Amino acid sequence: MSSHTAATLIGARRRDSLVAQLSCTTSDTATVIAPFSGQPLHELPQSSISDVQDAAASARLAQRAWQTAGFAHRRTVLLRAHDLLLERRDELLDLLQTETGKTRGQAFEEIFQAASVSRYYAVSAQRVLATRRRRSGIPVLMTTRVSYSPKQLIGVVTPWNYPIALGVMDIVPALAAGSAVIQKIDNQGALSMLATREAYIDAGVPAELWPIVAGPGSEVGNAVVDSCDYVCFTGSTPTGTRVGERAASRLIGASLELGGKNPLIVLGDVDPAKAAADAVYACFSTMGQLCVSIERIYVHESIAAEFTREFAARVDALIQTAALDYSGDVGSLTSAAQLERIQAHVDDAVAKGATVLAGGTARPDLGPFFFAPTALTDVTADMECFANETFGPVVAITTVASDDEAIDRANDSEFGLNASIFSGSILHARRLADRLNAGSVNINEGYRASFSSVDAPMGGMKNSGLGRRNGPEGILRFVQSRTVSQSNGILQLPRSGAEFAALVGLMITLLGVLKALRRR
């Protein structure tokens, strides 16, 4: 299928129906480009600050009824949305490919993730947020329970690279908890996210409960932060830091998934050919435009030559295409800005002495933003791609002499989002995993083992972010805990000096008994 056909698959009437979902009253628009062709895809309306404020007010009103409807109702709605996502997957895959330039297989990963998250929180929210007894200060005499109430309005700011998966991973747990959501989408992934929202609305989520706005982050994004009770942001570390500071100034919480310079350690006991094949996918899925994508490989010297040879051969054999089917291994970069950044990193590295093992050049013969997946060696600290996030299809391979050297090099970064270890011994890999400063560590996989584990928390250390999505942690972000304690009337607690004098000995004895019984 030609790139021109790919860019025009979405009819004008369908685009208009999706865009009509935006909370927008202005006449301002932004041009969205189709990556495969470089041609304008559509004009996306841009929201104003007042649009955000009005949408937030309506969402807060809708939230009351949504919370009152209860867990069983929300479970039914989210499970119905799960089914609609799968039923509508062909259109969603077309939209994702057309807006982001990724392959159909990598687009499918987003649909799979969105459905998994919807199912997980539909069936787990009530259990995680159930009222539970906690140990009281004085057992028997008092009883303590902890309950949860949803924060009323959650702000979610989503990126262009994984618009559906990264949006749903924050939005669905908020909805499951009983919160409303106001979402600021990136222009480039707008249609994909609007079509996803449509599935949830058709499943029974009130439209007013989940408004979507679009526009400049400096205006519309800030207005979202200013309107909500908690904010989720996925994007660059500099922007995420500003979002966190703005949230902190209002004394609201924030979860921030930010940049990464993710390492992969290849130990000497692996099959070099298999490890190379797995590593290629870990590096070049979605053309490396993925927060958890591998950008640094540290391979043990005993297999370095064979691994590197196999890796380069695998990279050269990748099928790069704009086809809207499963024939491609890698697709296009998403924008001219991405192409410029990747080309600059590669040119800088080569100029300073790096060796290109594979790729290294743009592919205008395929489309305006195509760039050949690139493997480098001899990358040194003075190169832009050494420590800075490239966020593209460029990986540096370095030979190491020992496990300790590999761990030290992997941890030598301001980032700590994702890491990976390839080993023939799971036990050995687990021991090394405990030494890595990363929020997620994958063994014999690049990122998909942890990324798909929706029951486990996902997030970064160091400059890679704050907070966690997924798992119980992912929904507990969106609730306030409330402690309710009662005196059971068995014994009057002391209120005067004389009453304290009479009971101090008994209370000291109680503390000793609790310690002896190892009671909390």
pLDDT by residue (tens digit) across 70-93? 999 999 999 999 999 999 999 999
Residue carrying the six token digits 């050949």: 372
Task: Give me the mean pLDDT over the 100-124 stretch.
Answer: 98
pLDDT by residue (tens digit) across 393-429? 999 999 999 999 999 999 999 999 999 999 999 999 9
Lowest mean pLDDT segment, chosen from 10-19, 40-49, 296-305, 340-349: 10-19
pLDDT recorded at residue 253: 98
pLDDT recorded at residue 319: 98
Angle between helices 272-284 and 304-317 (to 10 degrees): 50
pLDDT recorded at residue 519: 77
**Which residue from 289, 453, 114, 166 is spatially nearest to 441, judged by alpha carbons?**
453
List phi, psi (to 5°) of 484: -120, 115
Asked whether 348 and 385 are in contact (CB, 8 A), the reply is yes
pLDDT by residue (tens digit) across 453-487? 999 999 999 999 999 999 999 999 999 999 999 99
Give the catalytic positions in this structure. Answer: 257, 291
Task: Give me the mean pLDDT over the 488-493 stretch.
Answer: 90
Percent composition of the chain: helix, strand, coil (DSSP 3-state, to 5): 45, 20, 30
Asked whether 416 and 240 are in contact (CB, 8 A), the reply is no
pLDDT recorded at residue 1: 37
What letter would DSSP give residue 221?
I
pLDDT recorded at residue 2: 39
User: What residues pair up with 332 in beta bridges, in sequence order?
Assistant: none
What letter would DSSP give residue 397?
E
pLDDT by residue (tens digit) across 438-455? 999 999 999 999 999 999
Asked whether the domain spanning 262-454 has the same topology as the one spanning 3-258+472-479, the reply is: no
User: How far is C-alpha 412 from the chain's CA centre?
Assistant: 23
Domain ranges of the chain: 3-258+472-479, 262-454
**Which residue from 247, 221, 191 is spatially nearest to 52, judged by alpha carbons?**
221
**Which residue from 457, 448, 450, 347 is spatially nearest to 392, judged by alpha carbons?**
347
Reported as a pLDDT band with limits 50, 70 and 90, residue 9 is low
What letter would DSSP give residue 36?
T
Alpha-carbon distance of 132 to 130, in angstroms, equals: 6
What letter would DSSP give residue 371?
B
Six token digits for residue 267: 């130990």
Higher pLDDT, 311 or 137: 311
pLDDT by residue (tens digit) across 366-389? 999 999 999 999 999 999 999 999
Superfamily of domain 262-454: Aldehyde Dehydrogenase; Chain A, domain 2 (3.40.309.10)
Asked whether 386 and 409 are in contact (CB, 8 A), the reply is no
CATH class of 3-258+472-479: alpha beta
Six token digits for residue 126: 């009530």
Helix (H, G, I), strand (E, B) or coil at 34: coil
Task: Give me the mean pLDDT over the 101-129 stretch.
Answer: 98
Mean pLDDT taken over the chain: 96
Reported as a pLDDT band with limits 50, 70 and 90, residue 7 is very low
370 CB burial (10 A radius; 0-12, 13-18, 19+): buried
Query: N- to C-terminal Cα distance for the chain?
Result: 65
Six token digits for residue 38: 């470089």
138 CB burial (10 A radius; 0-12, 13-18, 19+): middle
Reported as a pLDDT band with limits 50, 70 and 90, residue 249 is very high
What letter would DSSP give residue 492?
P
Six token digits for residue 88: 């509508």
pLDDT recorded at residue 12: 87
Q: Is the pLDDT of residue 121 over 70?
A: yes
Cα distances (Å, whole numbers) of residue 501 to 15, 490, 492, 498: 77, 19, 14, 5
List phi, psi (to 5°) of 365: -65, -20
